[in-house]
Amino acid sequence: MFRKIVLLTLLTAFSGSLFAASAEERAQTAIDTRQGLLKVVASYFGPIVGMARGQIPFDAAVVEKNAGKIAQLAPMLEDVFAKDTRESGLQSGAKDGIWEDMADFKGKAATTTERAIALANAASQGKGPTMKAFGALGASCKGCHESYREKDEG
């Protein structure tokens, strides 16, 4: 009897946490999740920026690995941006245009994936070709930010 009550209490609490999140909580979670994904992307991008600037030595293995990780992460962008948070009233840098033209957003993310794959493949060809491919990847990141990120408004 007592064990049943304990179990029921636990189940109620658990399902509460799963299903009873408010609309605002769900929107905030979506915002945190997509910002988190972009932070992970940036964590793989950063070391290659350092190499491009000559701040750290060129390392083809790191470029290949990090570009490969970005190629795995970029297809997740359309998933983590699937939830439309326009009506949530919560602050984020995401512009409404993302959900006004999701096909374009997905296309830009797909270009980023392709260019990350190209960068991973270029890494073994030396610093010159690698940095050219890296420039193309950076341009696709920047292009999407200019269209869809508030602080890149132009």
- Please report, as ranges, the residues that interact with ligand ASC according to CB under 6 A: 42, 45-46, 138, 141-142, 145
CB of 20 to ligand ASC, least distance (A): 35
66/85 with CB nearer ligand ASC = 66
**Amino acid (one-letter) located at 2:** F
Report in angstroms how near the CB of residue 15 gets to ligand ASC at its nearest: 38
Residue type, 108: K
Side-chain half-sphere of 13: how many Cα atoms within 13 Å? 6
The nearest distance, CB 137 to ligand ASC, in angstroms, is: 8
In terms of CB distance, is 42 or 90 closer to ligand ASC?
42
Shortest approach of ligand ASC to residue 21 CB, angstroms? 29
Number of neighbours of residue 100 by Cβ within 10 angstroms:
11
CB closer to ligand ASC out of 26 and 142: 142
Q: Where are the beta strands (DSSP E) in the chain?
A: none
Q: Which residues neighbour 146 within 8 Å (Cβ) at sequence distance 6 or greater?
A: 152, 153, 154
Phi-psi region of 83 (alpha: psi -120 to 50; beta: other; left: phi over 0): beta
φ, ψ for residue 92, nearest 5 deg: -160, 170
Q: Which is nearer to ligand ASC, 11 or 42 (CB)?
A: 42
